[in-house]
Amino acid sequence: MSPNIFLYQPRNVHYWRHFVSALILFFLCLCVQVLGFEVDSINSVQFSNHTGYSHWKGQVLTADELHVLYEGIKLNNVHQYDYVLTGYTRDTSFLEMVVDIVQELKRANPNLVYVCDPVLGDHGSMYVPQNLYPVYKNKVVPVADIITPNQFEAELLTGKNISSQKDAVEVMDLLHAMGPDTVVITSSDLPPRLGDRFLVSLGSQRHVRPDGSRTTQRVRIEVPKVDAVFVGTGDLFAAMLLAWTHHYPNDLKTACEKTFSVMHHVIQRTISYAHELAGPGRRPSPPQLELRMVQSKADIEDPAIVTEATIIS
């Protein structure tokens, strides 16, 4: 039987942060569906387009409206999920409602995996109201199984700065202690060994041995930078990490290599197409930079590995 996902609108990470339109959510559903998942999705926003454009119109889902939708799912007894994936929100009541729903779903299925992108900010600045921070720290992260913070968010949640790989490992261990068994710091300011054209990401995954003891696999991966602003890359990242950790539950190295390689193929196809449309010497516009997800179906299903992770201590 195919695993089931309850999908709230996630956010994009790495390059840009915004609400995500229903269209991007549709493509995310498609991405995980081609990997064998059945998906129920709720749009936490219903926008005419994503906010990488100059203008947008639409509505934002409230906590009460989310509760009504979830109650409808329960009344039909179709709320048996294997995964929950969530992302950006600006409202504490909505976020707390998500936590309540996740906890209820976990009581029904103790093996449910909650994948959370803890959207707080980047590069020293908050993107959400300050009052969301304690909700993430005290309520969301403790019930999450997989989290994908950037460096700023990881530092904020733990109160520890990252200035070396050793610091990053300690921060990931602190995040493990808060609840999640898998932590991926999606981007950092650490110096890349491959040169300035790369970004450093790090991951850590705890495992319980049959005898009850714990072991931890930690990885480092350097990914090429791209001189463009995309909307939806982080949404795709969270969805792909969910999918590939499902297929490789005890091998974070392979799951990260698959995830980052999908990202590479989609972004490269997108930027090539955008430059072709824009013409020589012209910077691509937001419509031209819409992610080429459908065209990347084969890469999503079976990505050629182009970014290799290394095991770190």
Catalytic residue ranges: 235
Instruction: Provide the strand spans (E) within 143-238.
Output: 146-147, 182-188, 198-208, 214-224
Residue 191 CA to its chain's centroid (Å): 23
Sole residue written with tokens 């889902």: 61
> Is residue 205 classed as helix, strand or coil in its secondary structure?
strand
List the one residue out of 208, 218, 312, 308 whose CA is nearest residue 264: 308
Please give the structure tokens belonging to residue 191: 């110096």
Q: What are phi and psi of 114, to 5 degrees?
A: -100, 115
Please give the structure tokens belonging to residue 31: 């991405």
Distance CA 108, CA 141 (A): 20
